[in-house]
Amino acid sequence: MCLPLPGDCSLDLVDQVVDERQNGRHAARFRGWKAGWRARVQEYLDHGGSPEHIHPWAAVADYAATFHNLYNSSKPDTAHGDMLRRLRDHELRLCPACGELGRPNTLDHYLPKAAYPHFSLTPANLFPMCDACQGEKLVKTGSPAEPRFFLHPYFDAFAADQILKLTIIPPFNAPTFVLEPQGVTEAQAAVITAHLRELDISGRYVKFFKDEHRRLLRNVSRMRDKEQDVLATLESWAFDAADPTPNSWQHLFYDGVLVNPDFLEYLTEGDLPSYL
């Protein structure tokens, strides 16, 4: 899913955090970091946070706890405390990293704060994520073979479109499901594939698709009993599920149904299983 960049400017936040520390015991240290910190935040914005281009900052490696303490304390009426409160006060109904329905209730550091402590408080590096995704992502960023594992919700604008397609493979009373990138470049498809794998989205969505498939067969049976228009109803559900993203699990499922004429024929004309 693609999200708008947070309203808080990542560069201004550096200035504000440094200014707010000027009466404290780390005043000189923060003043000394300011120019380098700003330059690294600018580099982050220029490269969309990609770990392929952005490397840890050796000069602050021994002071990671100083940055982490700021993030963890996040007192109100401080610039970073207010920024974090605004980021947590979102209205998302699904996780922007995986598309599963449910309010994402943690903030993820796209570049992990362990290796990149100076991005602990960078708004462009922070976005809401579900517990399941965060439990899989941890401190991973990439590997020598795949320098970038994860889509970035603020910078990968192509994720605003439907970038996945679901194929539903017969037998239709107990199908298998294949989720693949669609309509993207080879390089984008490589990141999407790594993203799905590293967040174990495949392992998680299969259960959802199986449950949704059984629910669909039950609902279609009821529609046919009431002589409702099955196709029009499914189109309406798919339309509804495309908001806020066509990559939600619900939308991908109903899109996979609607682009499959054989499955549609089965739903409208076939003998539906009686286990329902």
Q: Which residues bind Zn ion (CB under 5 A)?
A: 95, 97-98, 130, 133
CB 128 within 8 A of CB 107: yes
Least distance to Zn ion from the beta carbon of 38, Å?
31
Which residue, 99 or 181, has its beta carbon nearer to Zn ion? 99
Least distance to Zn ion from the beta carbon of 148, Å?
18
Which residue, 32 or 203, has its beta carbon nearer to Zn ion? 203
Which residue, 133 or 184, has its beta carbon nearer to Zn ion? 133
Whether the ω angle into residue 244 lies within 30 degrees of 0, i.e. cis, is yes
Distance of CA 54 to the CA centre of its chain: 20
Which residue, 14 or 163, has its beta carbon nearer to Zn ion? 163
Which residue, 164 or 267, has its beta carbon nearer to Zn ion? 164
Least distance to Zn ion from the beta carbon of 127, Å?
11
Least distance to Zn ion from the beta carbon of 158, Å?
19
Q: What angle do CA 32, 33, 37 make, to 5 degrees?
A: 150
Q: What are phi and psi of 216, to 5 degrees?
A: -60, -45
Whether the ω angle into residue 171 lies within 30 degrees of 0, i.e. cis, is yes
Which residue, 54 or 111, has its beta carbon nearer to Zn ion? 111
Dump the DSSP string for 123-171.
Answer: GGGEEEE-HHHHHHHTT----SSSS--S--TTT-GGGGS--EEEEEES-
Which residue, 130 or 184, has its beta carbon nearer to Zn ion? 130
> Rounded CA gap, 12 and 22, in Å?
16
Q: Which residue in 234, 175, 181, 180 sits closest to 210, CA to CA?
A: 175
Least distance to Zn ion from the beta carbon of 131, Å?
8
**CA separation, residue 50 to residues 44, 87, 152 (Å):** 7, 21, 8
List CB contacts of 93: < 8 A, sequence separation 6 or more: 101, 102, 103, 244
Least distance to Zn ion from the beta carbon of 26, Å?
35
Least distance to Zn ion from the beta carbon of 104, Å?
6
Q: Which residue in 183, 194, 200, 168 sits closest to 247, CA to CA?
A: 183
